[in-house]
Copies of this chain bind each other. A is one copy, B any other.
Amino acid sequence: KNRGSSFPARIQFANQEDKQEFSKFPTKTGRRSLSRSISQSSTDSYSSAASYTDSSDDETSPREKTQVNSKGSSDFCVKNIKQAEFGRREIEIAEQDMSALISLRKRAQGEKPLAGAKVVGCTHITAQTAVLIETLVALGAQCRWTACNIYSTQNEVAAALAEIGVAVFAWKGESEDDFWWCIDRCVNTEGWQANMILDDGGDLTHWVYKKYPSVFKKVQGIVEESVTGVHRLYQLSKAGKLCVPAMNVNDSVTKQKFDNLYCCRESILDGLKRTTDVMFGGKQVVVCGYGEVGKGCCSALKALGAIVCVTEIDPICALQACMDGFKVVKLNEVVRHMDMVITCTGNKNVVTREQLDRMKNGCIVCNMGHSNTEIDVASLRTPELTWERVRSQVDHIIWPDGKRVILLAEGRLLNLSCSTVPSFVLSITATTQALALIELYNAPEGRYRQDVYLLPKKMDEYVASLHLPNFDAHLTELSDEQAKYMGLNKNGPFKPNYYRYQHHSTQSE
C-alpha cells in the first residue's frame, strides 16, 4: 500500500514490536499507486468525487455517533449515513465504466460462486471499490470492509454501502487509532468469522496475524493487490509463516500492462498539463528509464511533438529505445538543455543535486517511477535555495542567480498526485480481485498450498475478455482443426504461463 509515500511518519504502530516488524519491510513500496483511485492530494485537488465529500462542520467522530440504516442495522461506522443516496449516484456513475464487473455479476449470479464466503476487505473505499464489493455480494458473499488509507475514503460511498447492509468501517480523515480500530471492528465481530481476506497493503493481514491468528484456521485464502503487501506475503512464505494460500493479483499481465504502459501513456500528459499548463510541442525531454513506464511516457510525449531522449542502464532496453527512435544518452550530457526531466527507473538518486544545479531556467522535473527518491529532493533543501509553492503540487526551486527549476509533487509519483486514474483501469484491478477470490474460494482441495500464487493464465485471459465489450472488440475463435494444429485448448490459455513475466522488470519500470 502506498501509505509509505504519503504519510509514513504519521502512523504509529500499536507497539514497538509491530513497528519493528513493519520496518523490516522495504520502503520500496512500488508503483502500485496507479490502482489507487484517490490519494490524499488527488482528493484535495482534482477528483470530482472530492466535491461531494463535504468538509462539513460536523466534527463529531463517527465512532461517537450512533447511526442506523434504513433497515435498522447499525453494524457499520461511517461519517454520515444520510449521504447514502448521494453515494449511490456516485456508484452508478462508476458502474458505467466498469461493465466487466457488471457482466461478471450477470454471468456468475445464477451459480453464486461466493455463496458462503465471508470476505473481510481493506482497500480504498471509493465508488469503484463499491462496485467491486456489490459484485461480491451479488455473487453470494457477505462482506465487512475497512479503509486501507486514512484519507482516501469517499464518505458518501461508505454511507451507500452501509445503507445496503455492508458492514463498512471507514471515513475520510481517520486518526491512526481510528485506522486500527476500524480494522479490528471488521475482523473481531461476534457470530461472524471471515473465511476470505481481500487486502491492499497488507495491514489487515498483518493485524490478523498479530491479533487473531486463529482466524487463519478458517481462511481459505488471501487476495493481495499492492506491491508492498505482496512483498510481505513472499517474506512470510519464505519464513515459513504463511499459513494459507495467497493470490498476488498485482502481477497479473493485464493489470501490469494497464497500470504501466497504457496508463502512464495518458497520465504523463495529464499530470504535466494540470500542474504546469506546459505546451509539449518542441519541448526537449529526457526520460530516465525505458521499461514499460518509460515506454508509455516516451510514446505519448513524442506523439505530442516533444523531442525525447532516454537514459538506460540495460543495453537491451537501450537498444529498444534506439529502434523506437529515441536517442540514448547519459543524463549529464543533456541535462543542461532539457525542458523536462522525467524519472521512471525505480532506482534512487537518478537525478542528483549536481544535475539539478546544471538544469536550465524553467526546467520541469518530475517522477513517474515508484520510488520517492528517484529525484534527490532532499538535496534541494539547503539554505541557498528558495522554495516557492506556486500551486498545489508545484514548487519553484530558486537558485541564487534567479534560475528556477519546477519540481512537481516534491518528487513523489506524478500520476498518483497530479492526475486521475480512469475507472476502466480500476475495473481491471477489481475484476482480477473478484476472480481471484472466486478461484481461491472454489479451488479443489490441494490445488493451492501455503504459498503465494499468480492468477492462473486462463483467468488473466478471462479478465481481459470481460473488458473487450467496452471496445466492441470481437474475438476470433479457433476451429477444432486449428486448435489441434497449435496444440491449444480452444478456450485458452493461449499463452504459456511465463508470458506474464514480460512486464516484470527490476531496474527500469
- List A residues at the B interface (Cβ < 8 Å): 46, 48, 51, 93, 96-97, 253-254, 257-258, 262, 265-266, 269-270, 273-274, 277-282, 284, 300, 302-307, 311-331, 333, 337, 346-350, 361-362, 390-391, 394, 396, 404, 419-425, 460-462, 464-465, 467-468, 470-479, 481-482, 485-488, 492, 494-496, 498-499, 501-508
A198 to chain B, nearest CB (A): 23
B328 pairs with A265, CB closer than 8 A: no
A-B contact pairs, 22 of them (CB 8 A): A48-B391, A96-B362, A257-B323, A266-B279, A266-B304, A279-B422, A279-B425, A284-B327, A314-B461, A315-B461, A315-B468, A317-B494, A318-B468, A322-B471, A328-B473, A337-B472, A348-B485, A349-B481, A496-B504, A496-B506, A499-B502, A501-B502
A55 to chain B, nearest CB (A): 17
A464 pairs with B318, CB closer than 8 A: yes
A468 pairs with B319, CB closer than 8 A: yes
Chain B residues, CB < 8 A from A306: 325
The residue on B at minimum CB distance from A284 is B472
Chain B residues, CB < 8 A from A257: 316, 319-320, 323
Chain B residues, CB < 8 A from A262: 279, 281, 305, 323
A316 pairs with B495, CB closer than 8 A: yes
A507 to chain B, nearest CB (A): 5
Chain B residues, CB < 8 A from A330: 474-476
How far, in angstroms, from A98 to B265 measured CA to CA in the complex? 29
A482 to chain B, nearest CB (A): 5
The residue on B at minimum CB distance from A327 is B307
Query: Could you say which of B315, B461, B473, B478 contacts A322, with CB atoms under 8 Å apart?
Result: B473
Chain B residues, CB < 8 A from A390: 48, 93
Query: Could you say which of B274, B315, B465 contacts A464, with CB atoms under 8 Å apart?
Result: B315
B507 pairs with A495, CB closer than 8 A: yes
Chain B residues, CB < 8 A from A492: 314-315
Residue with the greatest number of chain B CB neighbours at <10 A, chosen from A97, A421, A503, A507: A507
A495 pairs with B486, CB closer than 8 A: no
Query: Could you say which of B254, B312, B349 contacts A316, with CB atoms under 8 Å apart?
Result: B254
Chain B residues, CB < 8 A from A505: 495, 499
A280 pairs with B303, CB closer than 8 A: no
B281 pairs with A96, CB closer than 8 A: no
A471 pairs with B266, CB closer than 8 A: no
B349 pairs with A325, CB closer than 8 A: no
Chain B residues, CB < 8 A from A254: 316, 319
Chain B residues, CB < 8 A from A467: 319
A391 pairs with B265, CB closer than 8 A: no
A266 to chain B, nearest CB (A): 6
How far, in angstroms, from A409 to B479 measured CA to CA in the complex? 26
Chain B residues, CB < 8 A from A476: 311-313, 330-331
The residue on B at minimum CB distance from A301 is B325
How far, in angstroms, from A172 to B344 measured CA to CA in the complex? 42
Query: Could you say which of B46, B303, B460 contacts A304, with CB atoms under 8 Å apart?
Result: B303
Chain B residues, CB < 8 A from A468: 315, 318-319, 322, 328
A316 pairs with B460, CB closer than 8 A: yes
The residue on B at minimum CB distance from A332 is B476
Chain B residues, CB < 8 A from A498: 498, 501, 504
The residue on B at minimum CB distance from A487 is B506
A253 pairs with B316, CB closer than 8 A: yes
How far, in angstroms, from A361 to B284 measured CA to CA in the complex? 29
B316 pairs with A347, CB closer than 8 A: no
